[in-house]
Amino acid sequence: MKKLIPFLLIMLSGLSFGQNIEPVRKTVQKINQTKDFTIKTVPYSYFMDNNQVTDNGIELKGFYKNGALKKMEHFIGLSAWNIVTKYFFSENNQLIFVHSIKYQTVDEYGYLKKPQKLSELRCYYENDRLIKSVGTFNNDEKTDYLKESQNLKNDLKNYNKL
């Protein structure tokens, strides 16, 4: 009986913290199936002007439907790999999902004809809080995707003003 109580507590805590990500998946699927987005591209020159320089460029795309930002795609090209991160937003403009993939573009013999996936990470959010992450990301530092999404939204807004 003494061993059963801690086991039950662990199981119950796991169930209470296990969030249902199905609504997020449905929203992301709906966004990905949407056609006729208005796409706004922030080019590498904008990032260079803001002292953000990489070997192979940076690009940000905002996908809008009826004036609301639904998705962002952020590309960072570094010397040996590329990082592509997609951000998805709810109807009330909150971050709900991030999908980030790191590709190797160069090996010891030079540029690869087909980039190889090094790592992949999926992060699910609810009410500005990370509820689940799946996968790993080969990166020395953890990225705060909530903060990063706000910075990128600001880049989209600021590029409009130019």
pLDDT in the model for residue 140: 56
Classify burial at 73, counting beta carbons within 10 Å of its beta carbon; exposed 0-12, middle 13-18, buried 19 or more: middle
Give the separation between CA 28 and CA 99, rounded to whole angstroms: 11
Contact (Cβ atoms closer than 8 angstroms) between residue 104 and residue 112? yes
pLDDT digits (tens, 9 = 90+) for 12-59: 434 444 568 999 999 999 999 999 999 999 998 888 887 788 888 899
Can you tell me whether residue 147 is helix, strand or coil?
A: helix
**Average pLDDT per block of 10 residues along the chain, 162 residues long:** 44 49 93 94 88 85 95 92 94 95 86 86 94 79 88 91 52
CA distances from 78 to 5, 48, 86, 151 (A): 52, 14, 17, 20
Q: Which helix (H) or strand (E) holds 142?
A: none
pTM above 0.75, yes or no: yes
Exposure string for 30-60, b = 16+ CB within 10 A, e = fewer:
ebeeeeeeeebebebebbeeeeeebeebbbb
- Tell me how far the alpha carbon of residue 91 is from its chain's centroid: 17
What residues are paired with 59 via a beta bridge?
75
- Alpha-carbon span 133 to 123, nearest angstrom: 4
Per-residue pLDDT at 17:
46
| Those residues with Cβ within 8 angstroms of residue 121's Cβ, 6 or more apart along the chain or in another chain | 98, 99, 100, 101, 133, 134, 135, 136, 137
